[in-house]
Structure 1
Amino acid sequence: MKRRVIHIDEEKCTGCGLCVHACHEGAIGLVGGKARLLRDDYCDGLGDCLPACPENAIEFIEREAAAYDEKAVIAEKMRRAQAEIHARMPAGGCPGSMAKTIVREAEPGAVSESGQAAPAHGVNSASNASSSENPFPAPAGGVSTVVNVPARLSNWPAQIKLTPVNAPYFQGCDLLVAADCTAFAYGAFHEDFLKGRVCLIGCPKLDGVDYTEKLAQIIAENNVRSVRVARMQVPCCGGLERAVRRAVAIAGSQNGAGAADAVVGVRGADITGGAVDAIGAVASSIPVQIDVISSDGRIVAVG
Structure 2
Amino acid sequence: MRRKIVKIDRDKCNGCGACAAACQEGAIQMSGGKAAVVREDYCDGLGNCLPHCPTGAIAIEEREAVPFDEAAVKAAQEELAAKNAAPASGCPGSAARAIFRPLPGGAPRMCPGPMARAVRHDAAEAPETAGAPADLRSRLSQWPVQIKLAPVSAPFFKDASLLVAADCTAYAYGAFHRDFIKNRVVLIGCPKLDEGDYREKLTEIIKNNEIKSVTIVRMEVPCCGGLEKAARAALMDSGKFIPWQVVTIGVDGRVVE
Check whether TM > 0.5.
yes
Match of 1:263 in 2: none
CA contact (8 A) 1:90 1:97 kept: no
In structure 2, stretches of 5+ residues that fail to align are: 1-6, 60-79, 100-119
Alignment of 1:117-266 (within 5 A): 118=130, 120=132, 149-161=136-148, 163-166=149-152, 168-172=154-158, 173-250=160-237, 252=238
Secondary structure, in 3 states, of the residue corresponding to 2:233? helix
- 1:32-85 Cα offsets, whole Å, 9 max, x none, are xxxxx689x98x9x9x7996588875599xxxxxxxxxxxxxxxxxxxx9xxx8
Task: State how far apart, in whole Å, the 2-side matches of 1:38 and 1:98 are.
Answer: 21
- 1:159-194 Cα offsets, whole Å, 9 max, x none, are 222x14346354313321110111111111101110
Match of 1:105 in 2: 122
Identity over aligned residues, as a percent?
45
CA contact (8 A) 1:101 1:156 kept: yes
Secondary structure, in 3 states, of the residue corresponding to 2:139? coil
* Cα distance change, pair 100–89 in 1 and its aligned pair in 2 (3 A): farther
- 1:216-271 Cα offsets, whole Å, 9 max, x none, are 12222333333221111222111101101111222x2xxxxxxxxxxxxxxxxxxx
CA contact (8 A) 2:16 2:155 kept: no
- 1:112-161 Cα offsets, whole Å, 9 max, x none, are xxxxxx154xxxxxxxxxxxxxxxxxxxxxxxxx5762111222232222
Cα RMSD, aligned residues only? 4.4
CA contact (8 A) 1:179 1:231 kept: yes
Match of 2:248 in 1: 292
CA contact (8 A) 2:174 2:253 kept: yes
CA contact (8 A) 1:8 1:59 kept: no
By relative contact order (CA 8 Å, sep 6+), the higher-ranking structure is 2
* Cα distance change, pair 25–207 in 1 and its aligned pair in 2 (3 A): same
Q: TM-score, normalised by structure 2?
A: 0.58
Secondary structure, in 3 states, of the residue corresponding to 1:159? coil
In structure 1, stretches of 5+ residues that fail to align are: 32-36, 61-80, 111-117, 121-145, 253-282
Task: State how far apart, in whole Å, the 1-side matches of 2:236 and 2:35 are.
Answer: 20
Task: State how far apart, in whole Å, the 2-side matches of 1:299 and 1:232 are.
Answer: 9
- The farther-off stretch of 286-295 and 239-248 is 286-295
* Cα distance change, pair 222–191 in 1 and its aligned pair in 2 (3 A): same
* Cα distance change, pair 291–55 in 1 and its aligned pair in 2 (3 A): closer
Letter paired with 1:97: S
Task: State how far apart, in whole Å, the 2-side matches of 1:26 and 1:15 are.
Answer: 10
- 1:277-302 Cα offsets, whole Å, 9 max, x none, are xxxxxx4223222211122222232x
* Cα distance change, pair 219–8 in 1 and its aligned pair in 2 (3 A): closer
Q: TM-score, normalised by structure 1?
A: 0.50
* Cα distance change, pair 53–288 in 1 and its aligned pair in 2 (3 A): same
Secondary structure, in 3 states, of the residue corresponding to 1:300? coil
